[in-house]
Structure 1
Amino acid sequence: MDWEWLSEFLKGMIKPAAATAVVLLAALLSYFQKLKLEGEMIYAIARAFIQLSVIGFVLQFIFNQNNSWWIILPYLFMVSVAGYTAGQRAKHVPHGKYIAGASILVGTTITMLLLVLLDVFPFTPQYIIPVAGMMVGNAMTVTGVTMKRLRDDIRAQMSLVETALALGATPRQATLQQVKRSLVIALSPVIDNTKTVGLISLPGAMTGLIMGGASPVEAIQLQMVVMNMLIGASTMSSIMSTYFCWPNFFTKAYQLETKVFSIE
């Protein structure tokens, strides 16, 4: 058996291992400040080491395949995990995990298809999987915040919503302001990051390319594409989540489903 790959892997881990010195420093500071976070810090970095090592070998295997299923399956796995995580944030929304997963799937799939059709990215694992990961991660955060905020806002203003329904408004009309507010709050960080990109920090994709030897101009061009796709996927996913939430917030008679809003 050829163990050359293992030797190369271990050589490449010298610098990451050396970089754990800063984590140990943080753990020491936590200990002396009695924050009791040092155990969690060490656990987190050890878990990240294992997860990234495993995913590195998995991606190496996937990149060597020529079957499109090796693009679709990892993408669906990422969407499933993201849907579960976002649903946990909005745990009081009925079927929240499924709503979040479906919203993320729709928003990121549409964005990905547009990028491929416009020939921005080729449909290969080397491009699609990393790009999908960035989109799904951002869509997960935005969708979770949107769903939680929408449910909490409707709960806080139940009397206003019920009055609008009694006057003949549809669920969409009765909750229009709450929907707008939840979307604005959820999407504002993404938009603010886009406004300040390159001024406050150099984003990960751009930094990675520059450190990998690409020219700054090439790195900037890719980062522009990344910021565009993040806004597109996050916006579509968050809007879809509000549409998917409505059937769970209202009865068939267009009344508020009070049991959904009775939990603190």
Structure 2
Amino acid sequence: MDLQWLLDFLQGMTKPFLATAIVVLAVLLSYFQKLGLEAEMIYAIFRAFLQLSVIGFVLQFIFSQQNLSWILLAYLFMVTVAGYTAGQRAKHVPRGKLVAGASILTGTSVTMVMLVVLRVFPLTPRYIIPVAGMMVGNSMTVTGVTMKRLRDDIRTQFSLVETALALGATPRQATHQQVKRALVVALSPVVDNAKTVGLISLPGAMTGLIMGGASPIEAIQLQIVVMNFLIGASTVSSIMSTYLCWPSFFTAAYQLETAVFTAA
């Protein structure tokens, strides 16, 4: 049995293992400061090593297949995990995981189709899977924050929303300000990041290309594309989540579903 691939892998992991010295420093600082985060830090870095190693082999296999069905399977897996994670953040939203998953799926798939139709990226696993991963990860964060903030804002201003409904406002009209605030809070980090990109930090995609030997001009061209599709996917996912939350927030008679907002 040829074990050359294993030897190559272990040799390539030398620098990542050496870099764990930084984590050791963080663990020691946590211990001396009595933060109690030592075990969590060690577990987190071990899990990161394991997950990234496994996904590296999986992607190596998928890229060698050049089969579009693997793109779909990988994409749906990412959306499922992201929906579950975002739903956990908004745990008091009924069917939160399903709402988050559907929102992320909508936002990222619409953006992905546009990128492929416009021929920004070819429809191959090597391009689509990494791009989808960036989109899904960003949309997951934004969607989770949107759902949680919307529910919390309506809960805080329960009487105000009820009064608006009693005066004949539709659920959309009665919660317009709460929806607006939730979307602004969730999307502001993405927009701020786009405004300061290259001035404060060099993003991952750009840094990776430069360290890989690409010219800075090529790197910034790709990074511009990345920032564009992150804003697009995040915005669509975030807005979609507010629409999908409404049915569980209101009764058929356009009244607030009290049980949703009584939990702390």
TM-score, normalization: structure 1? Answer: 0.99
Give the Cα–Cα distance (whole angstroms) in 2 for the partners of residues 247 and 170 of structure 1.
12
User: Which residue does the alignment assign to 2:83?
Assistant: 83
Tell me if 1:146 matches 2:139. no
Root-mean-square deviation (CA, aligned residues, Å) is 0.7
- 1:215-230 aligned within 5 A: 215-230=215-230
Give the Cα separation in 2 of the matches to 1:159 and 1:23: 49
Runs of at least 4 residues off by over 4 Å: none
CA displacement at 1:28 relative to structure 2? 1.4
Q: Deviations over 1:214-237 (max 9, x none)?
A: 000000000000000000000000
**Residue 198 (structure 1) aligns with:** 198
Query: Deviation at 1:244?
Result: 0.2
Give the Å deviation of 1:39.
1.7
1:186 match = 186
Q: Deviations over 1:44-72 (max 9, x none)?
A: 11111111100000000000112211000
Displacement after TM superposition at 1:36 (Å): 2.0
Aligned-pair distance for 1:119? 0.3
1:160 deviates by: 1.2
What is the aligned partner in structure 2 of residue 169 from structure 1?
A: 169
Counterparts of 1:24-103 in structure 2, within 5 Å, are 24-103=24-103
Q: Take 1:108 and 1:258, find their aligned partners in 2: how far apart are those partners?
A: 32
* Aligned equivalents of 1:66, 1:9: Cα separation in 2: 22
Q: Give 1:248's aligned residue.
A: 248
2:65 partner SS: coil
The superposition leaves residues 200-227 of structure 1 with CA deviations (integer Å, 9 ceiling, x where unpaired) of 1000000000001100000000000000
For residues 134-164 of structure 1, give each alpha carbon's deviation from its aligned partner in whole angstroms, at most 9, with x where no partner exists. Answer: 0000000000000001011111111111111
User: Runs of 5+ in structure 1 lacking a partner?
Assistant: none
Q: How many residues are treated as equivalent by the alignment?
A: 264
Alpha-carbon distance in structure 2 between the residues aligned to 1:74 and 1:216? 30
CA distance in 2, matches of 1:29, 1:219: 36
For 1:217 and 1:252, locate their aligned partners in 2 and report how far apart those are by CA, in whole Å: 55
The one-letter code matched in structure 1 to 2:11 is K
What is the alpha-carbon distance in structure 1 between the residues aligned to residue 93 and residue 36 of structure 2? 33
Taking the aligned partners of 2:144 and 2:41, their CA distance within structure 1 comes to 25
CA distance in 1, matches of 2:36, 2:155: 36
